[in-house]
Amino acid sequence: MKEEQAECGRLPSLLHEIGLELEKYQRFEHADALEKASIWRSALDRPLPEKGIGIDELKKEIAEILIPNGSQIPRAGCTSYITTGATTSSVLATLTASVASPQRIGLTAFNYLEELSLDWMAHMFELPSNMKGVYSSGGSVANIVAIGAARQWAFEQIGLDPSRDGIVKATRIYATDATHHTIQRAAAVLGLGRRSVQIVASDSMGRMLPEVLHKQIEADKSTGIVPVAVVGNAGTTSTGAIDKLAELGSVAKDQGIWFHIDGAYGLPGILDSRVRDLYKGLDMADSIIVDPHKWLGAPVGIGATYVRDRSILHRAFTQEVSDYLEGSLTHTQAQHSMDELGIPYFDFGVELSAPARGTVVWAIIREIGKNGLKERICRHNSMARMVAEAACAHPNLELVQEPTLSICCFRYVDERCTDLNQLNRDIHRRLVHNGTNIPSTAMVAGKLAIRPCFIGARTTWQHAQALVDEVLKVGKELVEENQK
């Protein structure tokens, strides 16, 4: 059959069949992917096919070889890292946009949602009313875009254009050792160098000490270094701590430095009234990032950067005028969806071609509303608190750090064990291999902690309780095994 004909009419039945397989996958009744690795590897490991297998055989391979050997991350009991399975509405929106709006350009309903959804998030997370956003692939790129804006601003203050002419002076970015290392990479990508990231001392919760920050900036300025940004965290990756944003913002403002807030994970936490006050100082930020593919439950590939004035993004990321497209858009009054490119997001960041991610964020918010998200966030924060209470109450558990948001760092303790870090590392490995409750670990002030991060839409109180129970069971087993 000709390709043009084969492409028509098959989508509904194929989607239905794949949908059933994905639904089955989410019940996690199958073995872990690694158990049958030799089987699926040999099934996939073929030479470049000269002749295609056709859509029906392909669907069979997707259903039989790929789906049952997927990731544990969508599992409700998987609380590792800060990552989760996509919710149904977001999967639907991703699929729909990939078919009907494969780019975010043109005047279409999908592309209208790009700005609308960014504005909805800004409103929901109480960002300053003049902040405008741009989507990218996730926190890594969102941080590059934000630090790119900071770099542009810092150099413009001294009459230079770093995106046009490059970097001619040593620079500094101020962060803590709890700051996500994508800030270091952003510094590298933007030509500032990873070494330009100055680690500022923090308190026992991992929050930057404003007085130390102040002294460090003064010292750097006296040597001619250009301060580019102060980076505050609204939810660190290891523990979920929130910097004293208002205090850091004041130092940054007094010193005339760009104030960036990394809220990739934790910004949605502002919806929980119990912690809302910790976000005071958001209004002082020059840039803020948030990742819908974290707490909002979007499929991986969606981050957002907000700045006060998107013209700085344009100056920082413009590709400058090209010959290959300019001639095609001569209309002043749009009469067709392809007459206008719409908002030039492609000049506000590092991507030209990009999916219509706003559709996904719109679908998530439209489905459950601000109240639904608030309920999810409060539930997850409460689950972390519940684990903390359990850790405080049980003689074989220790709370390593009080939770701020939905991360709880705790560990198993037993006086018969001399190396608690190793014991907790072993507990963690056994939990992963058992495969029901899968947290991460984090080093907190020298203690290796078991670290669940509750963000999954399908994760329930029972999963939090089951994790605590399993840590206790496995800890006891391991200590007894080591005694033999």
217, with CB counted inside 10 A (0-12, 13-18, 19+), is buried
Beta carbon nearer to ligand PLP, 105 or 285: 285
Interface with ligand PLP by CB under 6 A: which range of 46-54, 133-141, 224-232, 367-375?
133-141
Whole-number minimum distance, CB 269 to ligand PLP, in Å?
12
Whole-number minimum distance, CB 322 to ligand PLP, in Å?
29
Interface with ligand PLP by CB under 6 A: which range of 149-157, 189-197, 262-270, 319-327?
262-270
Beta-bridged to residue 258, according to DSSP, are: 229
The reply on whether position 292 binds ligand PLP by CB under 6 A is no
User: Rounded distance, CA 100 to CA 381, Å?
Assistant: 37
Interface with ligand PLP by CB under 6 A: which range of 48-56, 258-266, 388-396, 441-449?
258-266
The reply on whether position 74 binds ligand PLP by CB under 6 A is no
Residue type, 440: S
Number of residues that bind ligand PLP (CB under 6 A): 13
- Of 105, 131, 261, 264, the residue at the interface with ligand PLP (CB under 6 A) is 264
At residue 395, what are phi and psi to the nearest 5 degrees?
-65, -20
What is the gyration radius of the CA atoms in the chain, in angstroms? Answer: 24
Quick check: helix, strand or coil at residue 28? coil
* CB-CB contact of 118 with 359 (8 Å): no
Whole-number minimum distance, CB 303 to ligand PLP, in Å?
5
Q: Give me the long-range contacts of 22-28 (CB less than 8 A, separation at least 24).
A: 22/67, 24/67, 25/67, 25/68, 25/70, 25/74, 26/74, 26/85, 26/458, 28/72, 28/75
Using CB under 6 A as the criterion, what x/- string covers residues 155-184 for binding ligand PLP?
A: -------------------------x-x--
Whole-number minimum distance, CB 258 to ligand PLP, in Å?
17
User: Rounded distance, CA 26 to CA 232, Å?
Assistant: 36
Residue type, 291: D
Beta carbon nearer to ligand PLP, 176 or 359: 176
Whole-number minimum distance, CB 183 to ligand PLP, in Å?
8
At residue 461, what are phi and psi to the nearest 5 degrees?
-55, -35
Interface with ligand PLP by CB under 6 A: which range of 25-33, 100-108, 138-146, 467-475?
138-146
Distance from chain centroid for Cα 321: 32
Whole-number minimum distance, CB 294 to ligand PLP, in Å?
7
Whole-number minimum distance, CB 47 to ligand PLP, in Å?
34
The reply on whether position 303 binds ligand PLP by CB under 6 A is yes
Whole-number minimum distance, CB 265 to ligand PLP, in Å?
5
The reply on whether position 153 binds ligand PLP by CB under 6 A is no
User: Rounded distance, CA 107 to CA 391, Å?
Assistant: 54
Nearest to 401 by CA among 239, 235, 269: 239
The reply on whether position 85 binds ligand PLP by CB under 6 A is no
Whole-number minimum distance, CB 139 to ligand PLP, in Å?
2
User: Rounded distance, CA 236 to CA 238, Å?
Assistant: 6
User: Rounded distance, CA 346 to CA 353, Å?
Assistant: 7
At residue 36, what are phi and psi to the nearest 5 degrees?
-115, 30
Give the length of the chain: 484
Nearest to 248 by CA among 189, 179, 311, 192: 179
The reply on whether position 139 binds ligand PLP by CB under 6 A is yes
> Would you tell me the crossing angle of helices 88-100 and 357-393 to the nearest 10 degrees?
160
Beta carbon nearer to ligand PLP, 139 or 355: 139
The reply on whether position 243 binds ligand PLP by CB under 6 A is no
385, with CB counted inside 10 A (0-12, 13-18, 19+), is middle
Beta carbon nearer to ligand PLP, 167 or 285: 285
The reply on whether position 138 binds ligand PLP by CB under 6 A is yes
Interface with ligand PLP by CB under 6 A: which range of 132-140, 389-397, 406-414, 461-469?
132-140
Whole-number minimum distance, CB 317 to ligand PLP, in Å?
18
Diameter over CA atoms, the chain: 82
Beta carbon nearer to ligand PLP, 183 or 252: 183
The reply on whether position 140 binds ligand PLP by CB under 6 A is yes
The reply on whether position 237 binds ligand PLP by CB under 6 A is yes
Quick check: helix, strand or coil at residue 414? coil
Footprint (CB under 6 A) of ligand PLP, residues 359-388: none
The CA angle 23-25-30, to the nearest 5 degrees, is: 145
Looking at beta carbons, which residue is closest to ligand PLP? 139
User: Rounded distance, CA 143 to CA 316, Å?
Assistant: 13
Whole-number minimum distance, CB 264 to ligand PLP, in Å?
3
The residues that touch ligand PLP, with contacts defined as CB under 6 A, are 82, 138-140, 143, 180, 182, 237, 262, 264-265, 291, 303
